[in-house]
């Protein structure tokens, strides 16, 4: 139950929430096109520039449970406005950054601010919309990410051709101001009548675990024996990550309201969904780095490279509704198997493409495959397994493991690109390993899903 002040016109409220979600989604969509320009502007390696994405994702993941708890206690509207303001401050820091270190600090602030925008918007929908209209409203908010990834690359191409990379971020500021003003006037005052306990120990342990994992993976060296795993700066943080994983399991078993509910994660279909989320996150990380790869491998101009992502997004856009319909007809097991096969094929083509034309074909296939494992399939599996009181926690699991995949993918690909004989060879090796991993993941997920072919996984 929630406490809500006064009713708000649904269309007007949804429009404001749509703009707020677009604000956060656009920032993610323009990072990929910005990376080649950032690398050139600050004289960075592939390993270093990847932190532009990694810092944001890590801060975003850490902030999610924090913002959810604050929204329950002090009110959705106050937290939403705080998040918009915090995001704007981070954006300003990034746009004016005199050094890469300052830029990363701004990305952390941006990520922490963005962490509450979509979850709080979803909670506001739950507070103010009747049950029969909530699904459509949340679906519209989710569609914003697809729109952002259509707008982002085109916007990046235009701005990089005529202006500095700083404008890719600075143009979010007017939108942030508009969203803040409209939200202050429109959003109702609401909060949870009985706020849930906050798993502070779990959040802190998970954040430390992921930070250690990313630092360790970032140190991998393709030119060294065993990939550099014997070096202290690699194995020490990875060993720390393993120790923190053990600690996290212990902490979550004792927590009153764990962010990783052990009883839910122990179910085989949920484990399959978590593995798929990690795989989808790793593939999403390649989106961010594909612009850099196109510049290095095919001599594409920085401003043109961002447009190449449009074909990949087109694959996701076309495949998503088809995958959604097929879930009801043949079930998650079959859809996931085909989707992971397409991911493997697409990544394999991208890794081996002898020309830009073949590379683009691979990105379309990759997008079609990702559309079958991201979003609808994960939600389908989790909704079938979770009880009514576990659905929010279950969807939170997909977000957490998707972020884990993004962090692992970005750190590993960047390390391979930076330490190989050439950045192109490093990226190709990374893409090839992702293709192999997709095949393995398809087999494992198929086994975990058992013989389910219908709505019950």
Question: Exposed e or buried b for every residue in 380-404, given b needs 16+ CB within 10 A?
Answer: bbbebbbeeebeebbbbbbbbbbbb
pLDDT at 310 over 70: yes
Give the span between the Cα atoms of 407 and 216, in whole angstroms: 11
CA 442 to chain centre: 21
Mean pLDDT calculated for residue range 36-61: 89
- The pLDDT value recorded for residue 358 is 94
Q: Which residue has the higher pLDDT, 454 or 110?
A: 110
- The pLDDT value recorded for residue 342 is 93
Give the span between the Cα atoms of 275 and 61, in whole angstroms: 17
CA 52 to chain centre: 14
Say whether 194 sits in a helix, a strand or coil.
Answer: coil
Quick check: do 7-184 and 260-452 share a fold?
Answer: yes
| Other CB atoms within 10 A of residue 454 CB | 13
Q: How confident is the model at residue 142 (pLDDT cuts 50, 70, 90)?
A: low
Give the span between the Cα atoms of 346 and 367, in whole angstroms: 8
- The pLDDT value recorded for residue 138 is 64
Mean pLDDT calculated for residue range 251-279: 84
Name the nearest CA neighbour of 222 among 437, 422, 410: 422
pLDDT at 191 over 70: no
pLDDT at 415 over 50: yes
pLDDT at 375 over 70: no
Q: Which residue has the higher pLDDT, 303 or 165?
A: 165
pLDDT, tens digit, 9 for 90 and up, residues 112-137? 999 888 778 877 777 777 766 666 67
When mean pLDDT is compared over 30-34, 162-166, 196-200, 338-342, the highest value belongs to: 338-342
Give the span between the Cα atoms of 76 and 390, in whole angstroms: 21
> In 163-267, where does DSSP find H-type helix?
166-170, 172-186, 200-218, 232-254, 262-265
Say whether 190 sits in a helix, a strand or coil.
Answer: strand
- Give residue for tokens 């600690």: 247
State the DSSP code for 307: G
pLDDT, tens digit, 9 for 90 and up, residues 74-116? 888 888 999 999 999 999 999 999 999 999 999 999 999 998 8
What homologous superfamily is domain 7-184 in, according to CATH?
Answer: MFS general substrate transporter like domains (1.20.1250.20)
pLDDT, tens digit, 9 for 90 and up, residues 21-37? 888 888 888 888 888 88
Name the nearest CA neighbour of 455 among 383, 388, 391: 383
- The pLDDT value recorded for residue 414 is 86
Give the span between the Cα atoms of 457 and 448, in whole angstroms: 10
Percent of the chain residues past pLDDT 90, beyond the cut:
24
Name the fold adopted by 260-452.
Growth Hormone; Chain: A; (1.20.1250)
Do 135 and 126 contact (CB within 8 A), yes or no?
no
pLDDT at 443 over 60: yes
Do 149 and 309 contact (CB within 8 A), yes or no?
yes
What phi and psi values does residue 325 have, to the nearest 5 degrees? -70, -40
Mean pLDDT calculated for residue range 367-379: 79
Domain ranges of the chain: 7-184, 202-254, 260-452
Question: How much is the mean pLDDT over the chain?
Answer: 83
Give the span between the Cα atoms of 457 and 449, in whole angstroms: 6
């Amino acid at each position: 139950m929630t406490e809500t002040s006064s009713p708000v016109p649904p269309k007007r409220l949804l429009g404001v929430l749509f703009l707020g979600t677009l604000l956060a989604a656009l920032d993610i969509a323009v990072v990929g096109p910005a990376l080649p320009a950032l690398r050139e502007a600050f004289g960075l390696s592939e390993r270093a520039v990847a932190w532009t994405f990694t810092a944001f994702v890590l801060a975003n993941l850490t902030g999610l449970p924090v913002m959810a708890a604050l929204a329950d206690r002090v009110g959705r509207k106050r937290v939403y406005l705080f998040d918009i303001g915090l995001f704007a401050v981070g954006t300003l820091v990034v746009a004016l950054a005199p050094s890469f270190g300052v830029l990363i600090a701004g990305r952390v602030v941006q990520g922490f601010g963005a962490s509450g925008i979509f979850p709080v918007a979803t909670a506001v929908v739950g507070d103010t919309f009747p049950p029969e209209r909530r699904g459509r409203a949340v679906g519209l908010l989710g569609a914003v990410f697809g729109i952002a990834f259509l707008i982002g690359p085109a916007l990046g191409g235009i701005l990089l051709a005529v202006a500095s990379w700083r404008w890719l971020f600075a143009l979010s500021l007017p939108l942030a101001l508009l969203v803040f003003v409209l939200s202050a006037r429109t959003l109702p005052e609401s909060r949870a009548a009985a706020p849930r306990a906050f798993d502070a120990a779990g959040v802190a342990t998970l954040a430390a675990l992921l930070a250690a994992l990313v630092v360790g993976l970032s140190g991998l060296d393709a030119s060294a024996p065993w990939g550099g795993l014997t070096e202290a700066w690699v194995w020490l943080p990875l060993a720390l990550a393993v120790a923190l994983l053990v600690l996290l399991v212990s902490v979550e078993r004792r927590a009153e309201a764990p962010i990783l509910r052990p009883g839910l994660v122990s179910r085989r279909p949920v484990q399959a969904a978590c593995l798929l989320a990690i795989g989808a996150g790793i593939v999403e990380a390649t989106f961010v780095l594909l612009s850099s790869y196109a510049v290095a491998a095919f001599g594409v101009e920085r401003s043109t490279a961002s447009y190449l992502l449009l074909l990949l997004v087109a694959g996701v856009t076309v495949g998503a509704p088809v995958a959604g319909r097929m879930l009801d007809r043949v079930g998650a097991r079959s859809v996931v198997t085909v989707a992971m096969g397409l991911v493997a094929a697409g990544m394999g083509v991208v890794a081996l493409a002898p020309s830009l034309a073949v590379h683009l074909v691979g990105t379309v296939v990759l997008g079609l495959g990702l559309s079958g494992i991201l979003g609808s399939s994960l939600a389908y599996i989790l909704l079938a397994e979770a009880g009514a009181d576990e659905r929010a926690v279950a969807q939170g699991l997909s977000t957490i493991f998707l972020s884990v995949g993004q962090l692992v993918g970005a750190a590993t690909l960047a390390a391979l690109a930076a330490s190989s004989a050439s950045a192109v060879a490093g990226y190709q090796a990374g893409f090839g390993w992702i293709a192999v991993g997709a095949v393995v993941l398809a087999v494992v997920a198929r086994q975990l899903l058992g013989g389910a072919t219908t709505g019950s996984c």
